[in-house]
Amino acid sequence: MAAYIFRRILLMIPTIFGIMAISFIIVQFAPGGPVERVIAQLQGNDVSATNRIGGGGGADAGMGGQDRTLGSAPVSSKYRGAQGLDPEFIAKLEKQFGFDKPPLERFGLMLWNYIRFDFGQSYFRDISVLQLIKEKLPVSITLGLWMTLISYGISIPLGVAKAVRDGARFDIWTSAVIVVGYAIPGFLFAILLVVLFAGGSFFDWFPLRGLTSDNFSSLSLGGKIVDYFWHIALPIIAMSLSQFATTTLLTKNSFLDEIRKQYVVTARAKGLSERKVLYGHVFRNAMLIVIAGFPGAFITSFFAGSLLIETIFSLDGLGLLGFESVINRDYPVVFATLFIFSLMGLVIGLLSDLTYTWIDPRIDFEKRDV
């Protein structure tokens, strides 16, 4: 197993390199850039994602002391909208954002900085990229962690129950509910929850902004716990809907495949109870395919999958941060979040494989090609 882990770690290096290289190349051909944004702001034509960027107040916040090497392609001597501006000012902007260097040099410096986990400063926020990510983590951790726990905590027992009662009325009705839930987009269900329960048109039972109330620090411990779950109830329900359906059906089908195998018939013939057969023999084998889908589900809910939910419920997390950074051409934040979550996905994938061997010791990855 040690040799397999070592090979997987080595494989992460070219994988990360490929992800960053492809992304960097795409950015070279993307229209616009931080220089164009500064020019647009100077001329009153800025079209940034939101006006919520904090800590520095627009482009001027990114003008102090940065010499980062990330960004879009080197532009020609004429920028769109730069007519009439001092060429020395344009040259200063290019140097400020690192565009005075050729693309290969910028890419090499970016990788060297990232190897040392030096992600630099945001272009348009007076804050380091790591500090900015730390500020957004509580929202993303809350959404990702609770969504995963709830969806797996409900889906696995429900999937087992459906497999045991395959074809019965319980299975038919729950399948209908699950299919309907899977067909409803999470963001649409979130809007429905807002309309019904968050002061939209009917009830005003739940808050619509933030993870806690303004007086959170003055509440007792029990009050803080209640306030926390009061704020996250609707976002978590909206995010768990589609994941709940997927995991339930996956668990049911996996159990059905295992229940029909010969070792289950043999176990029953030996007089073992149905509970012993299901959870002592079938469960371990049936859960392998469910575990295989865990890394992708966790990363999706932790980052990209929460973007629309964060927007609807005014939660300032990593999903919204990444989207705003792309729109605002804040490339240090864009590439840093891409690097961090790509690395996190690869590490979780390795942990998933190790979990395979813990659940079923018969699996030996060292005998297989990586």
The first and second tokens of residue 191, run together, are 């809007």
More confident residue, 72 or 187: 187
Res. 15 pLDDT band, cuts 50 70 90: very high
Q: Quick check: 314 pLDDT over 50?
A: yes
Superfamily in which the 132-327 domain is placed by CATH: MetI-like (1.10.3720.10)
The answer to whether 37 touches 60, Cβ cutoff 8 Å, is no
Q: What is the reported pLDDT for 70? A: 44
More confident residue, 290 or 312: 312
More confident residue, 93 or 140: 140
Most confident region among 35-39, 137-141, 173-177, 293-297 by mean pLDDT: 173-177
Q: Quick check: 301 pLDDT over 70?
A: no
Across the range 42-48, mean pLDDT stands at: 61
Extents of the domains making up the chain: 2-124, 132-327
Among 127-136, 173-182, 216-225, 283-292, where is mean pLDDT lowest?
A: 283-292
Across the range 242-254, mean pLDDT stands at: 82
Q: Quick check: 75 pLDDT over 50?
A: no
List, as one string, the DSSP characters of 84-115. TS-HHHHHHHHHHTTTTS-HHHHHHHHHHHHH
More confident residue, 103 or 108: 108
Residues 46 and 48: their CA atoms lie apart, in Å, by 6
Grouping H, G, I as helix, E, B as strand and the rest as coil, residue 198 is: strand
Mean pLDDT estimate for the chain = 77
Q: What is the reported pLDDT for 173? A: 92
- pLDDT tens, residue by residue, 143-190: 878 887 888 888 888 888 888 888 889 989 998 888 888 888 878 888
SS (H, E, C) 336-348: HHHHHHHHHHHHH
Residues 241 and 301: their CA atoms lie apart, in Å, by 12
Distances (CA, A) of 3 to 16, 238, 356, 363, 365: 20, 42, 16, 15, 9
Among 83-87, 275-279, 288-292, where is mean pLDDT lowest?
A: 83-87
More confident residue, 69 or 259: 259
Number of H helices, E strands in the chain: 15, 0
The first and second tokens of residue 126, run together, are 């007076």
Q: What is the reported pLDDT for 22? A: 92
